[in-house]
Amino acid sequence: MSGNLTWDISSGRILFFRRPFHEYSLRGRVVLSQMPLSITAGLTAALMLLFFPGTLGNPPFIAFLVTQVVILALCYFTPWERLPYPSFLALPFLDFVSIALGREGGQESLMGISLLAVFPVIWLCASGIYPRTALLMSFVAPLGIIWVPLFVRGDVTGQDLAKSLLLPVMMLGIGVSVSVLTLSMVRQQRDLEEKDAQLRIALEDSKRQERLLNSVLETVHLGVLAVDADGHDILMNRKQRENHRLAAPAGNSDPNESQLLVFQPDRVTKVPVEERPVRRAVLGENFTDNLVWLGSGSEQRAITTSARAMRDHDGAFAGSVIVFSDVTDLVNALAAKDDFVANVSHEFRTPLTSILGYVELLLDDGEELQDSHREPLNIIRRNSERLLGLVSDLLASRSGQLIVSPQAVNVAELVRSSVSAALPRAAAARVRLHTEAPERLEAHVDSARMSQVLDNLVSNAIKYSPNGGDVVVSLGSEGSELVCHVSDSGMGMSEKDQADVFKKFFRTGNVRNTSIPGVGLGLSISKAIVEAHGGSIQLRSALGEGTTFTVKVPV
């Protein structure tokens, strides 16, 4: 067992245990438990040899030394793992017998040999096995070491018996202390083992979650970058590493943020360093769908970036997570759609202009034109003009420009005209049209544009009341604003659809599942016209209960 002893050169100390006691094998623990008494017995023999050599010829003392050697040999060579677990406790009892022999054979030469009983007492009480029996033996065995020889010699007196009680009482006190400490240590060790098991489970769960997170991050087609409060990268998945390589200048494999090729939506102007997504995120800013272009040439990609700040337990900024999404195909598709709309609109202009020209010629021929034909031609002219206006609006929405020419107009007349033009469609759809407007209400607006808004709203109200119902168009004023309400009792729309209803080409889910025609441009154009007048357009709707659009324009 010499391998259990090491010499610490730096401090000059002997370290008996290189690892925790409970980590040794059962045989090793038994040997280590016996070792203090064996070493002390060897030192006792050395003292006797030096100062009391005659004692070494005393048979009881020789028996003490021999039994100590035998007991140590038993500790080392006995296969304790194969025997019942408490069987090693026989050794402390043998130690008590050995110590009794040593006291009887050497007490005339060396006092205090009885104190060697403290070693088996500590062994018994520290084992934690049969604690009550161990405490009993910590008193009875030392008492027997002293009393048995007295009774064997036959010279027992009450005074001798009384004088010998101090050692057993002292050993009992040591046994109680050791038992209490052992019980406390066992409980602490049990708690530590439970906590260690919990920590191992938590660690395994953490590793499992980490593997899952890494698998998810490496699988998704989104670039994910996490930075700490100082801007240092702490996590970057595979897709983001590809984005980083894409934005790196040629010949620079490890560029810093200022060297990356990050461009504005025009794909030419570089984004200033302080306005780049990662820099904004490091400053603690939260943002969503910020469009930039990475790289250059034919490999340039459109990327939308979103960032969310991370906070520690105290609420302080601890870093940020930035997500990069490749939307190149979507951006190209939107550009192609706008080009298609622009091209189709250009193609519509020529036939519409021709139609309007011929209608004007027919209307100018007043003498030969019958009155029954004049009204249909006026309707053709007006709708052709509005269709031509719609084409112009499509082109304007493509370029982002919408021009209005306000002038003094009787808006009440515009309302009545729109309702009158919609009567045939309302009758076909079994919808009842109602108008609530004063005889005259003037405002400075673009009459053609406002007619377009009214036509769109009334047409939608009829179109989206497929089962008939009532459509009410009311006009009034509130302070310095002209207010027009267009209400229907049709299908209505959900809150989600209401948030997107003014977007170009948007159609609600209910409408897409029906055969109601439309391209989703009317409300977008109407909103642009109203806002060009400095006004606003709002809606209130409930699914299955109808919709009300409210237009407000400064008078």
- Domain-wise residue ranges, the chain: 2-194, 220-326, 330-400, 402-554
DSSP type of residue 230: T
Q: Which CATH architecture has domain 330-400?
A: Orthogonal Bundle (1.10)
Q: What digits encode the pLDDT tens for the residues 232-279?
A: 888 889 998 888 888 888 877 778 778 889 999 888 899 998 899 999
According to CATH, the topology of domain 402-554 is Heat Shock Protein 90 (3.30.565)
pTM higher than the cut 0.75: no
Question: Which strands sit side by side in the sheet containing 536-542, from one edge to the other?
Answer: 431-436, 469-478, 481-488, 546-554, 536-542
Percent of the chain topping pLDDT 90: 33
Domain 220-326 listed as CATH 3.30.450.20: yes
| b (16+ CB within 10 A) / e for 191-221 | eeeeeeeeeeeeeeeeeeeeeeeeeebeeee
**Amino acid at the residue 159:** Q
Give the residue from 94, 123, 116 showing the smallest Cα distance to 33: 123
What pLDDT, on a 0 to 100 scale, did the predictor assign at position 503? 78
The whole-angstrom separation of Cα 102 and Cα 225 is 77
The whole-angstrom separation of Cα 203 and Cα 241 is 28
Torsion of CA 104, 106, 112, 118, to 10 degrees: -60
Q: What digits encode the pLDDT tens for the residues 400-447?
A: 556 788 899 999 999 999 999 899 888 888 999 999 999 999 999 998
**Amino acid at the residue 327:** V
CB atoms within 10 A of CB 304: 18
pLDDT higher than threshold 50 for residue 305 = yes
Structure tokens at 88: 């090693």
Give the residue from 292, 391, 387 showing the smallest Cα distance to 345: 391
The whole-angstrom separation of Cα 432 and Cα 486 is 13
Give the residue from 389, 380, 518 showing the smallest Cα distance to 451: 389
Average pLDDT over residues 28-47: 91
Which residues is 224 bridged to in the sheet? Answer: 323
Do residues 113 and 103 lie in contact, with contact meaning Cβ atoms separated by under 8 Å? yes
pLDDT band of 324, cuts 50, 70, 90 = very high
